[in-house]
Amino acid sequence: MLPGELEKWLVELGEPKYRAQQVFSWLHKQGADDVAQMTNLPQRLKKIIAPHLQFGTVEAAHTSKDGSEKLLIRWADGALVETVILPQNKRLTICLSTQVGCAMGCGFCATGQSGFTRQLSAGEIAEQVRLAERKAGRSATNLVFMGMGEPLANYENTIHSIRILNHPQGRNIGMRQITISTCGLVPQIRHLGQLRLQLVLAVSLHAATDSLRSRLMPINDKYPLTELIPACREYAAITGRRVTLEYALIEGVNDGKGDFAALVQLLRGWPCHLNLIQLNPVEGISYRPASIQKLRTFAQQLSAQNIAVSVRASMGRDVAAACGQLRGRRERHEHHGKA
């Protein structure tokens, strides 16, 4: 709940208004996980709120050689999600999941292979930040909604969690420090633009023609590039913010001359930025990452065409960073254990 919602609830229970701010700040600023820590609240109030508090538990943590850390988080109903901590000098970026599993079925994604289980609540999304901060021993500076699940397919809870995490009485993480990554749900992108929140919108492109994109990402059949790119351009125009497009270079699939030419056509002449990423190889999926040399050459050629581009090294590969892999392994293990 946001402070206003907490206030309404507590006032209905006969509590003074100011208690809402205290409770919100205990949960979302101080990171309390027990009413006993909320020392300025009366016993009566602690008894009221205690049954409503739900926390996740860190089931496993894997640290990568590059310093990134992946947490496997379990909820009360047994569901598992992954949260990734990415430290970079003074920055601490947390990569958040928004769903248990995902229904989008992208062909290169471990989560996509396991199907959709359920939505995460706004509280469960925000709770991942608390657990990650506790593990890292410092506060998050940046958030990316890029973990398991499609954030815009859990639209209300994702936006609600962002408002909680952005709130000045809580973590106060700036909207400009928050990135929402989507596979391209056009109506939600348009709606998000209307909210004018100053969030960074990152769209997974991965192909510049409809035939290839539909092969890699089934959502393209519903929202083809002729609808997706205008929605992105509209987002940039309304918010005044450049849209980020993600393109994982896949060996022999989307890294040819024709792909390059189609990409230039799509991206020229509007405020966007292309992130070229090395694909994370996933067990059981045949797509292979293009070499880092190929990524650099591709980037140089795009840059020569006046396309804003950066090459992003993928962190955490040695701990199965591609989202869904760690959970997939754990669930297979548990399944075998039960069988």
Range in contact with ligand SF4 (rule: CB under 6 A) among 104-112, 132-140, 236-244, 253-261: 104-112
CB of 105 to ligand SF4, least distance (A): 6
Q: Which secondary structure element, helix H or strand E, spans residue 5, and what is its range?
A: helix 3-12
Task: For residue 82, indicate whether it is catalytic.
Answer: yes
CA 254 to chain centre: 24
Using CB under 6 A, which of 27, 72, 81, 102 touches ligand SF4?
102
CB of 111 to ligand SF4, least distance (A): 4
Rule CB under 6 A: is residue 148 a binding residue for ligand SF4? yes
Using CB under 6 A, which of 3, 56, 123, 149 touches ligand SF4?
149
Using CB under 6 A, which of 22, 111, 278, 280 touches ligand SF4?
111
Beta bridge partners of 145: 180
Question: How big is the site for ligand SF4, counted in residues (CB under 6 A)?
Answer: 11
Query: What residue type is 36 in one-letter code?
Result: A
Rule CB under 6 A: is residue 207 a binding residue for ligand SF4? no
Using CB under 6 A, which of 23, 35, 183, 185 touches ligand SF4?
183
Rule CB under 6 A: is residue 100 a binding residue for ligand SF4? no
Residues 28-47 that bind ligand SF4 (CB under 6 A): none
Task: Find the catalytic residue in 82, 124, 150, 246.
Answer: 82
Range in contact with ligand SF4 (rule: CB under 6 A) among 23-31, 66-74, 106-114, 131-139: 106-114
If we measure between CA atoms, which residue out of 2, 5, 296, 48 comes closest to residue 166?
Answer: 2
CB-count exposure of residue 78 (10 Å: 0-12, 13-18, 19+): exposed
Using CB under 6 A, which of 35, 73, 80, 104 touches ligand SF4?
104
Q: How many CB atoms lie within 10 A of CB 293?
A: 8
Nearer to ligand SF4, 3 or 112 (CB): 112
CB of 279 to ligand SF4, least distance (A): 11
Q: How many CB atoms lie within 10 A of CB 172?
A: 12
Instruction: Using DSSP, state whether 281 is helix, strand or coil.
Output: coil
Task: For residue 95, indicate whether it is catalytic.
Answer: no
CB of 307 to ligand SF4, least distance (A): 23
CB-count exposure of residue 309 (10 Å: 0-12, 13-18, 19+): buried
CB proximity list for 12: less than 8 A, separation 6 or greater: none
Residues 112-141 that bind ligand SF4 (CB under 6 A): 112
Q: How far is the C-alpha of 42 from the C-alpha of 240, rounded, in Å?
A: 47
Nearer to ligand SF4, 112 or 193 (CB): 112
Rule CB under 6 A: is residue 277 a binding residue for ligand SF4? no
Range in contact with ligand SF4 (rule: CB under 6 A) among 15-23, 72-80, 99-107, 170-178: 99-107
Instruction: Give 289's DSSP letter.
Output: B
Using CB under 6 A, which of 150, 246, 255, 259 touches ligand SF4?
150
Q: What is the DSSP string of 224-266?
A: -HHHHHHHHHHHHHHH--PEEEEEEEBTTTS-SHHHHHHHHHH
Q: How far is the C-alpha of 306 from the C-alpha of 107, rounded, in Å?
A: 30
Nearer to ligand SF4, 145 or 235 (CB): 145
CB of 118 to ligand SF4, least distance (A): 14
Q: How many CB atoms lie within 10 A of CB 319?
A: 18
Angstrom CA distances, 108 to 17, 126, 280, 289, stand at: 50, 27, 8, 11
Q: Please give the positions annotated as active site.
A: 82, 323
